[in-house]
């Protein structure tokens, strides 16, 4: 089990291989379809982003309301393929780690290789476990989107596996 502090250092990123088990700690951004679409549009219109993407990690999930005493409710991964139209551009802008579930398109895999990035698989059905790994949550941008706003979480020992490494080796192919 590898322990990685976010934002990830390039040497750590390049050392990870498909099937490696990882515990993430540090700053993990959260964004789904709406956030990706808005970030993409900002880039296309040469406008400033609400976060610096360089070296950052983003988790594809939809949070549920926080129960008393917790910063967030269950927060399992969502299907990553919905972000595929936007992912290559965000990777080109410096995003280095994507966390979600399910396979990615050939274009995303190619961009992962080109940009020396990672795709990490979160475990489906483990939303309550993931909620227990969150220390703090803040809204970064697009608050009007409610649960689909751009968030940043402080996580500790957030379990994932490397699904596609920086060489393009994938758990989805044999």
Of 13, 32, 36, 119, catalytic: 36
List, in sequence order, the alpha helices (H) in the chain: 10-15, 33-44, 87-92, 106-115, 127-132
Range of the structural domain that residue 121 is part of: 2-164
Q: Is residue 173 part of a domain?
A: no
Q: Is residue 170 part of a domain?
A: no
Model pLDDT, residue 134: 96
Mean pLDDT across the stretch 131-136? 95
| Number of domains observed in the structure of the chain | 1
Q: Is residue 128 part of a domain?
A: yes
Which of 72-76, 108-112, 161-165 shows the lowest mean pLDDT across its residues?
72-76
For the whole model, what pTM was predicted? 0.96
Q: Is residue 174 part of a domain?
A: no
Which of 8-12, 68-72, 93-97, 134-138 shows the lowest mean pLDDT across its residues?
68-72
Q: Is residue 169 part of a domain?
A: no
Q: Is residue 97 part of a domain?
A: yes
Residue 5 a catalytic site member? no
Q: Would you say 63 and 72 are in contact if contact means Cβ atoms under 8 Å apart?
A: yes
Nearest to 127 by CA among 61, 58, 72, 74: 74
Q: Would you say 96 and 56 are in contact if contact means Cβ atoms under 8 Å apart?
A: yes
Q: Is residue 118 part of a domain?
A: yes
Tell me: pLDDT of 120 over 90.
yes
Q: What is the CATH number of the domain that holds 107?
A: 3.20.130.10
């Amino acid at each position: 089990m590898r322990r990685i502090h976010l934002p990830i250092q390039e040497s750590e990123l390049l050392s990870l291989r498909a099937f490696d088990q990882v515990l993430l700690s540090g700053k993990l951004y959260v964004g789904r379809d709406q956030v990706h679409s808005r970030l993409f549009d900002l880039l296309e219109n040469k406008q400033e982003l609400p976060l610096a993407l360089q070296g950052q990690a983003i988790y594809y999930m939809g949070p549920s309301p926080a129960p008393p005493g917790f910063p967030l409710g269950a927060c399992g991964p969502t299907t990553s393929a919905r972000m595929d139209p936007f992912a290559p551009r965000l990777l080109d802008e410096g995003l280095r780690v994507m966390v979600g579930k399910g396979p990615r398109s050939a274009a995303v895999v190619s961009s992962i290789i080109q940009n020396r990035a990672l795709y990490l698989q979160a475990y489906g059905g483990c939303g309550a476990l993931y909620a227990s790994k969150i220390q703090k949550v803040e809204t970064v941008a697009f608050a009007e989107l409610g649960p689909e706003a751009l968030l940043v979480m402080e996580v500790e020992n957030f379990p994932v596996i490397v699904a596609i490494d920086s060489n393009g080796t994938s758990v989805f192919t044999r």
